[in-house]
Structure 1
């Protein structure tokens, strides 16, 4: 009886521990919303435990697992596009992936739109895939199924509360506004706009009967500038719509178009040609100035916008590209920021004309500002080409090529600032101003800093712009992290690489398949090191970069162990999906299979997680998780090896 009671208590303890381990730290709520013309929005709301975060749907390639909504195909509806709507995520620089990763904390809402093709009730089936992490570990990617019934003839469902995402959206809009405001300040320093400030303000002060009238006219002029550019922002949003604007950051053809557009803008700033508005438009605006009053002032501002387009157009175009990723309100907020900066000096100097004398005189430096902006636009253009290249897998603009192009662009900018290069509209210089000389040295220093990136250096200052390290001609770097000369080099009775083995982290020979690794372990009489890891696991990369890079540990893993890396976020589809006997969920991918294997065998879900076993699948010592202490990890490996030999 006592033994039975003890066994029962033990079973209950294991059962309770199992359910504790199965906690996902995130819960999902699913709903739908009728939009218009048969379109339905699938809404997935996440509630996340304190200290955990879920990733955005938009992440750099080969980093963490992005959140994704998959809808099963059905004749009753069609999926409009692959775009997932989400609030603006908080960006965090991840040293492991050398990239900025976006994620959400506490709450997040993801949406996807489908087009319903028939009347009556329609059942939408699918799942949302996500991965959550905290500062110490990551859970395996989880796929949560949903089944929703919709009827497009029914009234639209209640709006999802915007209070959850208001703070994130506000931060995004402030970012767009400040970026656009900076663009407006840059536009002020171009030869098309800067000389207009004293001319316009002098006109107002001379034609106004009183000082108050001059101030009023100047303010009206500034407001008119803001209204004109706001109309442009509203037009862009109205024509394209929010869903199309969201495609700007992911669609291949949009990115190729913007690459060509920014190259054309850069060439214009370099002086190859001028982008001007039709003369009929300018004449129409000039005639409107004769009407006087607010209408006349408005047409004066409209004339400024048209005449200065050769300088402001490329800046406005680049800002609209960036601002459009902020959804429907992005272009509107962007144009508000740009026009506010542009209008500010006109209103200020109209109110205080005495300060006009403090402005620097026009000259060749204004064209230099245009040329520098041209260099920057040309550099940013290649970011758009890089996105298209990685998406399509062309491998035209790999990491080394991208960095080489940036070295050339910023090197040329540095020489230009130092007076070694002259472009068509530059004025001759007898000497280089000190400020320009210092700026030139700064740009040349930045250029030299990027050079080691050609040989695999991280170049963290430009992180997020070039492709990741694995998207390169030499993923291991030149003369760095070469594959370990371990069991593969020596042949180990095979004279080459065994079936299923490849060069893994730090060039260490590794398997990705457990069964193949186990069979090879029996053949060569070596213990297995199970490495439960993930492509998007930050701490896994830290262990590989900081611990496995140690020569002693690297040698032990290559020569004394059979390493098998089981990626719990491997999204390769299984030939035959199955339903888990443990969780009851459908197992669709290789990653889900290894995540379930880890939980079933070791009641653990976090990564990294390391287990040493022998050829009979017996655990030799206590498994360990993330631990950056090199000596402790080495002792753990040695302990496992000693126990294997002393069996």
Structure 2
């Protein structure tokens, strides 16, 4: 049993570490013979687990669709269009707030051709975009070349010329592949592909990689570990909240007294009570692990962002809220707890204590259920496989602490507040909070189906009303069933009422477009608001890297590079919650040259750029391709948002910064860059 406890706790504390550079897709290109003059070009994409490739038909303002461009066709004709070998998955994507299609695991695309000459050559590019549960990679492309003969099949050749540093180069390599029942034909190398040179500063190379220099700075943000830490704290807060509910609070003195009376030896009783607390932790951690194992982090995130699931969860939370208000009582079947009680009585030792802890879990379900459900949904949304277990660990630790502490110090039981009407008040307060949270889940469904019944101003209005009513209730002006007569207002109730009214007043400017940073994660997007007076935004001085660097050198200012995207939701959050802060806005506007580079900008380049990356040839055709390559090549990262501070020579001044809505940390990040820049002067 001890090994069982240790194993469960160890598994719950494991954290997955993700590398910055991601390459989750591998393309392969083959030719399949289907007739004397008919053949098929086969494009096969193999994706790592958890990643998906967007389909060929994506709505406007969504992510980049998968498109196949044929730049040169010799000796053959295309028949029809490129089609996938299976139907794509249709799901609602909360990042883009629309229904999208994508493929997972492995997918092949077929383009039929009619061979008109003895030898044919077809070249082009496939443009695509990848996402997983946590982030999206910028749109990129893969070049392909098919060559073959009539009634023969060959695999593509892959050209891999590198970027020339001072002059143009022309290189071309071929890659042979073994294909069943086919032969490889010689590749015609008479056609020459010119390599376009990236313009570089004659004094220094602004495109030179600085990955090692960037990593040398301490304090690079680790959003994954930070997210898991906050999930633990959220779970801990939920556990403290559940602790003062009518289902759990009365159990503390009853359970601790039982252990003290059961064992005359105080050491044994303390040990039993601490084992009881540890059993509570193990039960809830196992619950989080079982849910993750059964569904997986990806499935949990899909469920957490699924429109139908959110409607169901909204209805459940409203049901719990109505129950907390006193309309009816939600309880699990009594036979369940009776069976567990009998198990606890018929067994002995650690197993008996474990069954007692499980009984507490079931008895307290009506109060802890909505808290646990909300916690698991939010943890699943993080995309980490350990997040549900981490959240449940925090919840269980907070729930188990009092049982252990009161067992060690039994005299504290005398000073515990007795059960009474205040516990019912706690349930009612939880009911108001559950009702407010329910609107958040309804908002997801509203955005998915485009009902437009819960636009931002409607959402904010409802929250204002809910928290105003909560304040009125705390002052004793609103009485619900099962409430005791309130002769006077206690100091805690008064302060809670003040907090509730203040929060409602804080949200009032949101009706006119104020960003409401504290609740930006809950409210619908600002774009859904009809009346918006907010205009305190930070705008980039330049949207071109080389031009911005030249201007910074002329003015003698450091540079802040903002790798962003039109479809990057977290980028918008940072701009609304962090950049709008006066202290941040002042530093960016006055002390830095801000260069924003959109990695999904579809504006074509004047000339395509051939680059070699990880042994593969890539063609940069759009401005977004160019900035995405710059981020990977120079800084070793490919997720957005991504902020880096540079001097006029392209050297980093501090560690990089990613998604973290912590204004003081962001100010510290900016000031550390200014300090380094002054030291270099």
TM-score computed with the length of structure 2 as normaliser: 0.54
Task: For 1:238-257, list aligned pairs within 5 A.
Answer: 238-257=293-312
Question: Which residue does 2:104 correspond to in 1?
Answer: 113
| C-alpha separation in 2, matches of 1:44 and 1:439 | 43
> Which of 309, 316, 336 lines up with 2:393 in the alignment?
336
1:7 aligns with none
Q: Which position in structure 1 is the counterpart of 2:378?
A: 322
- 1:366-515 equivalent positions in 2, closer than 5 A: 366-475=423-532
C-alpha change, 1:573 and 1:592, in structure 2 (3 Å) is: closer
- Within the alignment, does 1:269 sit opposite 2:324 as a pair? yes
C-alpha change, 1:112 and 1:336, in structure 2 (3 Å) is farther
Verify the 8 A CA contact 1:413 1:443 in the aligned structure 2: yes
User: Shift of the alpha carbon at 1:473?
Assistant: 2.8
The answer on whether the counterparts of 2:140 and 2:625 sit within 8 Å (CA) in structure 1 is no
What is the CA distance between 1:198 and its match in structure 2? 0.6
Aligned to 2:140: 144
The answer (yes or no) to whether the contact 1:68–1:128 under 8 Å persists in 2 is yes
Question: How far, CA to CA, are the matches of 2:385 and 2:125 in structure 1?
Answer: 27
Report the equivalent of 1:191. Answer: 246
Whole-angstrom CA distance in 1 between matches of 2:413 and 2:398: 17
1:75 aligns with 2:84: yes
Residue 112 and residue 174 in structure 1: after superposition, are their counterparts in 2 closer, same or farther (change >3 A)? Answer: farther
Equivalent residue for 2:207?
none
User: What is the CA-CA distance between 1:471 and the residue it aligns to?
Assistant: 0.9
Offset of residue 534 of structure 1? 8.5
Does the CA-based 8 Å contact 1:568-1:593 persist in structure 2?
A: no
- The structure-2 alpha-carbon separation of the partners of 1:437 and 1:241, relative to structure 1 and needing over 3 Å to count, comes to same
Unpaired stretches in structure 2, ≥5 consecutive residues: 1-19, 29-43, 55-60, 69-81, 96-101, 110-123, 132-136, 145-154, 156-176, 178-214, 538-563, 583-595, 611-617, 628-681
Q: Give the distance between the partners of 1:278 and 1:237, measured in 2 at CA.
A: 26
Preserved CA contact (<8 Å) 1:418 1:432: yes
Closer/same/farther in 2, CA of residues 229 and 71 from structure 1, 3 Å limit: farther
Secondary structure of 2:477's counterpart equals: coil
Counterpart Cα distance in 2 of 1:540 and 1:201: 51
Q: CA 1:241–1:336 in structure 2 vs 1: closer, same or farther (change >3 Å)? A: same
Separation in 1, partners of 2:273, 2:21? 56
Determine if contact 2:259/2:273 at 8 Å carries over to the other structure: yes
Distance of 2:335 and 2:27 partners within structure 1: 47
Residues 306-333 of structure 1, C-alpha deviation per residue, up to 9 Å, x if partnerless?
A: 1111111111111111122233322211
Q: Which has the higher contact order (CA 8 A, sep 6+)?
A: 2
* TM-score calculated relative to the size of structure 1: 0.56
> Paired residue for 2:263?
208
Preserved CA contact (<8 Å) 1:201 1:218: yes
Q: Give the superposition deviation at 1:199.
A: 0.7
Q: Is the 8 A contact 1:32 1:43 kept in 2?
A: no
User: Aligned with 1:470: secondary structure?
Assistant: helix
In the alignment, which of 47, 52, 56 is matched to residue 41 of structure 1? 47
Q: Which residue of 2 aligns with 1:357?
A: 414
Question: Within 2, Cα distance between the matches of 1:78 and 1:126?
Answer: 19
- Tell me, in whole angstroms, the C-alpha distance in 1 between the residues paired with 2:342 and 2:580: 70
CA distance in 1, matches of 2:407, 2:579: 62
The 1:378–1:124 alpha-carbon spacing in structure 2 relative to 1, beyond 3 Å, is farther
User: 1:179: Cα distance to partner?
Assistant: 0.5
- The answer to whether the Cα contact below 8 Å between 1:31 and 1:44 also exists between their aligned partners in 2 is no
Q: How does 1:560-579 map to 2 (within 5 A)?
A: none
Q: Deviations over 1:105-135 (max 9, x none)?
A: xxxxxx98334479xxxx99542389xxxxx
Residue 358 of structure 1, CA deviation: 2.4
Cross-structure match for 2:593? none
Asked whether the equivalents of residues 83 and 112 of structure 1 are also in contact (C-alpha less than 8 Å), the reply is no
Q: Do the aligned partners of 2:608 and 2:619 also contact (CA within 8 Å) in 1?
A: no
| Post-superposition CA distance 1:178-214 (Å, at most 9, x none) | 1011111111101111111011101100110301110
Change in 2 beyond 3 A, CA 1:143/1:236 = closer
Secondary structure of 2:129's counterpart equals strand
Note the alpha carbon deviations across 1:45-85, whole angstroms, 9 max, x for none. 9xxxxxxxxxxx9xxxxxxx998785877434665566999
Deviation at residue 573 of structure 1 after TM alignment: 8.6
Other structure's SS at 2:315 match: helix
User: RMSD over aligned Cα, in angstroms?
Assistant: 4.8
Q: 5+ unaligned residues in a row in structure 1: which ranges?
A: 1-25, 46-56, 58-64, 87-110, 131-140, 152-162, 482-504, 506-532, 547-566, 596-647
| 1:145 alignment partner, SS class | strand
Q: Distance in 1 between matches of 2:125 and 2:324?
A: 51
